[in-house]
Amino acid sequence: MATDDSNAAGFGEVSRVRGIAFEYLSLGASVAGLVALGVLLVYVAIDAFDLANASPEWLLTYFLTLVVPFLLFCLYSAGDPAVTRRVAGVLGGGLVVVAAAFAAIEAFVVTIPRLSWQLAYLFVVVAPTTAYLAYVGSRGRVGAVGFGLLGRLVGGVAIGLAVGTLFLVFDELVWFLAYTLGVLPAAALYAYGSRRAANRAVTAAIPVGLVGLVAAVFLRGVVGTYPSDLIIYLWTLAVPIAAVGAFLVDARGSRVGAAVVGGVPLALATAGGFLAGSVGLPGPTTLIVIALTGVPTAVYVHRVIDGGDGVVGLGLPLLIGGGVLVGALVVEAWGVPAPDPWLDPGYVTEAPSRTAAEAGLYPAIVGSVIIIALVAVLSFVLGVGTSVFLEEYTAGSGVVGSLTRLLQINIANLAAIPSVVYGLLGLGLFANLLGFGYGTAVTASLTLSLLILPITIISAQEAIRSVPDDLRRGSDAMGATRWQTTKNVVLPEAFPGILTGTILALGRAIGETAPLIMIGAATTVFSAPTSLFSRFSAMPMQIYAWAGFPQADFRYGVVAAGVITLLIILVGMNGTAILLRNRAERGN
Amino acid sequence: MSNTSSNTTGDESLITTDVETGSNGRTASSERTAVAARDLNVFYGDEQAIDDVSIEIPEKRVTALIGPSGCGKSTFLRCINRMNDMIEVCRVEGDVEFGGKNVYDPDVDPVALRRKIGMVFQKPNPFPKSIRDNVAYGLKIQGFDGDVDERVEESLKGAALWDEVKDQLDSSGLDLSGGQQQRLCIARAIAPDPEVILMDEPTSALDPVAASKIEDLIDDLAEEYTVIIVTHNMQQAARISDRTAVFLTGGRLVEYDDTAKIFEDPEEQRVEDYITGKFG
C-alpha cells in the first residue's frame, strides 16, 4: 500500500523512527552514566576535602584569588572576545540557574545532603567552564607556554617522587655500581659512536652495558665501602640529568644558557638534598625531585625565552601559587571557618592509624607505585616480545602455523578469565611453587603482570598488524634481516598503538583487588615495603579495608581521600603515557 | 636480431615516441650480463606465474619488462632479489644467475643478496623517519663504517633530490610530495651502492611531471647501475629502456630484444598487437 501512496505523492516517505529512537536512547544512556559517575565523584571530592564544612566566605575568597585569575589568564591567552562573552554569560547565567534549581529542589522535592548551592555552582558550572577555558587557552601561545611549564613542574615532582619511592625497595648500591660500570660507559660509547658515525662504537655499547650490569651484581657483595646515598644519587641521577639539559641548550647554540640550565638546578638539588634532613624530609628523594623538576623546567624556560614568543605564559605557576598564598592570608585575616580536608600532606606521608584523623595511606601508595612500576616493565617487555613473535616471526602454515593459531585463540581466551583465578595462579605458582612468599610485592607484580598480559599482547598485536606491509617490504628489500626490520621500522611505527593498549591494561592493574587478596596481600601495613620481598599493601586494598570500619569518619572521609589519591595517581600515570604516545606520533 | 638495419628506413615506428632519445647513445649489444635466468618456472600454489623463461639482462643498461597485468613480470622481478621468498605458497624452479651465482643455491643468503640489489616499489614507501635516516637506512643496517652524511648527500644528489631537501634533512620523509618520496626511495636504494636496481612500476602512482623526473633519473642511473624496470606504460618503456622484454599471459617471455627493435618491428604479431594497444 505504501507503493500506492508514493506513486500518488511523489517519492513518499521512508520511516526513520527506529534509527531516531536508537540514537536518543543511546545518547540518554551515556549521559545518564556520565551524570551518575559525575555525582559520585563530586561527593567523593566533597568528602575528601571536607568541602561540606567550607563557609561561603572561604569559597568566595579562593574563587576570587585562584579561579578568577586563572580564568582571566586563559581568556587572555585565547584572546577572543567571543569566548570572553560566552564565558561571562555562562558564569553569570549559570549562577542564577543553579541557585534557582537548587532552591526549588530543596523546597519541593528533597533536601540535598552535604551540598550548598555555592558548591553546586562550583561543580556544575565553574569546573566545566574552567576545564573548557583551560583547553581553549592552551591553544594560544601564552597558554601553551603556561601549561607547558606547569606540566613540567608537576610531572617532574611526580616522576621524582616515583623514582625516590622505587629506591626504597631497590638497592641503590647495586644501582651505583651498575651505573658507573655499565650505563655510563655504554651511554658514552653510544654518544661517541653516533656523533662520529662510528658504527662499531654504537654496536659495542650494548655488550659493554650488559657486562657492566653483570659486574655490578657480582661486585655488590665484594666491594666494602660505598659513598653516602646522597652522593650516589647526585652522581647517578642529578648530574646526568643536568648534563642532558645542558647539552640540549648547548645544541641551540647558547654556552652561557647551557651552564645556567645545567648548573642552577644541580646546585639547588645538591643544597636541597643536604639541607632536607634538617627539616625532616628525606634527602635523596628531595635531591631527585629538585633535579627532575628543575632541569626540564629550566630547559623549557630557556627555549621559551629564546623563542621570545608567549613569555608572559611563564607567569602561570606564579599566578596559581600566588593565588593559593593570598587566599590563605585572606582567610586567616578574615577568620572565616575553613574546611579541614582529609586529603592533606599528612594523609599521603603517614601510616594508617586507629584514629581517622591520623590515618595515612603512605605505605599503600608506596606498595602500589612499586607494583605498578614492575607490572609496567614486565607486561610491556613480555607483551611486546610475544606480539612481535606472533606477528612477525611465526609461519602462517604448517605445524608451526597451527600452533600459533592455537596460541592466538588461547591468548584471546585468557583475557576473559576472572581476576580471582589469576590470583589463585599467582598463589600456586609464585607464592608456593617458586617461593616468592605470600603477599610480597614481587608475587603481586608477577600475578598482575600475568593478568594484564593478554590485553597487552592483543593490543600490541593489533598495533603491529596495522603497520603497512609496504614498509616491511621496503626494509626487506634493503637487505634488512627480520630483526632489523622489526626493530627499525615496525616497532617505532607501532609504538603509539602499543602504548595505548598498555595504558589501558595498567589502569586495570592498579585498581585490582581480588588477585591481591588471593595471594595473601595485607589490607593494612604500617610501614612502607623496604624490599621486593616485604609484605605490602596496595591502595585499593587499604581503601577496601577502611570502607569496612565502623566509624563514619573512616567510611566517608578517609575512604574518599583514598579514592581521590588513587584517581590522581592513575590520571597522572595515564597522562604521562599519553604525552609519551603523542610525542611518538608527532615524531612520525 | 640481425635484420634491424634493413627495416628501420622503410617502417614507421609503431608508436610515435622518438626511441633514439631514450637509449642515450648506449648500444645494447656486446656487453657483460648482469642478471640471467635459465628455464625459470614460478608457481603460486598450483598456478604457474612464470613459464620457462630464459633471459640475459645486460650490465649498466635499462631493461624494461612490459606486458599485460598478471603476466608474471613483477614476479620475475621479485625472483631476482628473492622477495618471492616472503610469499609462502610461491615455488621457484630453475636458475637465476647474478654475479655468476645461482641466487637460488642453498648456500645463498637472501638477506645478503638483497644488499647487492636495490629495489623501488610501485607506491612510494619512505619510512616514517627523517629524510636523512631514510637514505642512511641501508648503511645503518649493513654496518657502514664511513662518512654517513657524505653518502647521504651523494645518494640524494644521485636521485636528483638534494637541491630540494638539503635544508630539511631532519624533517620527515612523509612530508615530501609523492614524486619526491619516490626519488627518496631511489636515493635509499642507491645509498648502499648496489649493483642492480629493480623498479616495479615506479611511476604508476605519480603525476606526469613527477613521472618524467623519475624517467630522467633512470636514464642517469644507468650510467652506474643495471636498471630493470617493470612498467605498464609503453611510451615509458620506449623512452627510457635499452632492452625490452615482453611477457604475455601465462608468464611466457614472448620477445626480448633491443627496445628499438621491439617497438618498430617486433617479430611476433601478438607483441605488435599488445604494444599498439589492440589488447592488454
pLDDT tens digit string along A221-263?
888 888 888 888 888 888 989 988 888 888 877 788 888 888 8
> With contact defined as beta carbons under 8 Å apart, do B133 and A475 qualify?
no
B140 and chain A in contact, CB less than 8 A: yes
- Among B142, B76, B152, B118, residue whose Cα is nearest residue B226: B118
**What mean pLDDT value characterizes chain A?**
87
At A197 the pLDDT is 65
What are A58's three cell numbers? Answer: 572561604
The model carries a pTM of 0.80
pLDDT in tens, B237-252: 999 999 999 998 888 8
- Where b means 16+ CB within 10 Å and e means fewer, A337-376 reads ebeebbbeeebbebbbeeebeebbbbbbbbbbbbbbbbbb
Contact indicator for A66, A327 with CB cutoff of 8 Å: yes
Class for the domain spanning A349-587 = mainly alpha
**Could you tell me which CATH number the domain at B33-124+194-276 has?**
3.40.50.300
Q: Are A473 and B121 in contact (CB under 8 A)?
A: yes
Q: Is B189 on the interface with A (CB under 8 A)?
A: yes
User: For position B2, what pLDDT does the model report?
Assistant: 40
* Tally of CB atoms within 10 A around B3: 10
Q: How confident is the model at residue B6 (pLDDT cuts 50, 70, 90)?
A: very low
Neighbouring-strand partners of residue A45: none
Residue B184 in this model has a pLDDT that exceeds 50: yes
Match 545532603 to its residue by C-alpha cell.
Answer: A113
Q: Is the pLDDT of residue B20 over 50?
A: no
> Closest approach of chain B CAs to the CA of A471, in angstroms?
6
Cβ–Cβ under 8 Å, residues A169 and A534: yes
Rg for chain B, CA atoms, rounded? 19
Do the Cβ atoms of B88 and A395 come within 8 Å?
Answer: yes
Closest chain B residue to the Cα of A196, Cα to Cα = B147
Q: Which residues of chain A have pLDDT under 50?
A: 1-2, 6, 588
Q: B116 to chain A nearest CA, in Å?
A: 8
Residue listed under C-alpha cell 647551557 = A258
Cβ of A588 within 8 Å of Cβ of B174? The answer is: yes
- CB contact (8 A) between residue A199 and residue B88: no
Q: How close B38 gets to chain A, by Cα (Å)?
A: 23
Q: What single string gives the DSSP state of each residue in chain B?
A: ---HHHHHTTPPPSSSS-HHHHHTT---SS--EEEEEEEEEEEETTEEEEEEEEEEEETTSEEEEE-STTSSHHHHHHHHTTGGGGSTTEEEEEEEEETTEETTSTT--HHHHHTTEEEE-SS----SSBHHHHHHHHHHHTT--S-HHHHHHHHHHHTT-HHHHTT-TTSBGGGS-HHHHHHHHHHHHHTT--SEEEEESTTTTS-HHHHHHHHHHHHHHTTTSEEEEE-S-HHHHHHH-SEEEEEETTTEEEEEEEHHHHHHS-S-HHHHHHHTTS--
Cα(A231)–Cα(B67) distance, rounded to whole angstroms?
74
Q: Which residue has the cell 587557552?
A: A137
With contacts defined as CB-CB under 8 Å, which chain B residues touch A202?
A: none
pLDDT of residue A201: 77
> Taking residues B75-92, what's their average pLDDT?
88
> Is residue B200 predicted with pLDDT exceeding 70?
yes
- ipTM for the predicted complex comes to 0.84
CB of B61 closer than 8 Å to CB of B242? yes
Mutate to test the interface with B, among A203, A469, A478 (most CBs of B within 10 A): A478
User: Which chain B residues are Cβ-neighbours of A474 within 8 angstroms?
Assistant: 121, 125-127, 185, 188
Residue B65 binned pLDDT confidence (cut-offs 50, 70, 90): very high
Q: pLDDT digit string (tens) for B85-119?
A: 888 888 899 899 988 889 898 888 989 999 999 99
B129 Cα to chain A: minimum distance (Å): 6
| DSSP three-state, residue A440 | strand
CB within 8 A of B101, min separation 6: which ones? B108
Q: What contacts A350, CB < 8 A, 6 or more positions away?
A: A358, A359, A360, A362
- Interface check A222 vs B, CB under 8 A: no
Give the Cα separation of A175 and A163 in Å (integer).
12
Task: Say if CB A548 and CB A382 are below 8 A apart.
Answer: no
pLDDT given for residue A337 in this prediction: 81
Helix (H) or strand (E) holding A579: helix A559-587
Contacts of B189 in chain A (CB under 8 A): 477-478
Q: Identify from B140, B171, B228 which residue to disrupt to test chain A contact, counting A C-beta atoms within 10 A and taking the largest count.
A: B140
Q: Report residue A353: phi and psi, to 5°.
A: -145, 165
Q: Are A363 and A352 a contacting pair, CB within 8 Å?
A: yes
Sorted by sequence, the CB contacts under 8 Å of residue B11 that are 6+ apart come out as B264, B265
Burial class (CB in 10 A: 0-12, 13-18, 19+), B222: buried
| Contact (CB, 8 A) for A238 and A291 | yes
Chain segment A6-24, per-residue pLDDT in tens: 455 678 888 889 999 999 9
Q: What is the mean pLDDT of the segment spanning B202-214?
A: 87
What is d(CA B161, CA B190) in angstroms, rounded to the nearest whole number? 13
Number of Cβ within 10 Å of residue A518's Cβ equals: 20
Q: Report the alpha-carbon distance of residue A468 to residue A482 in Å, rounded.
A: 15
Confidence band for B21, pLDDT divided at 50, 70 and 90: very low
> According to the model, what pLDDT value does residue B188 have?
92
DSSP H or E run through A293: helix A283-307
- Identity (one letter) of the amino acid at B249? T
Q: How far apart are CA A245 and CA A299, in angstroms?
A: 6
Using CB atoms, pick whichever of B88, B116, B126 lies closest to residue A396: B88
CA atoms within 13 A on the CB side of B104: 20
Give the burial string for A305-327 (b: 16+ CB within 10 Å, else e): eeeeebebbbebbeebeebeebb
pLDDT for A490 equals: 92
Q: What is the pLDDT of residue B181?
A: 92
User: Over 70: is that where the pLDDT of B29 sits?
Assistant: no
Q: CB–CB of B141 and A197 under 8 A?
A: no
CB distance A160 to A91 below 8 Å: no
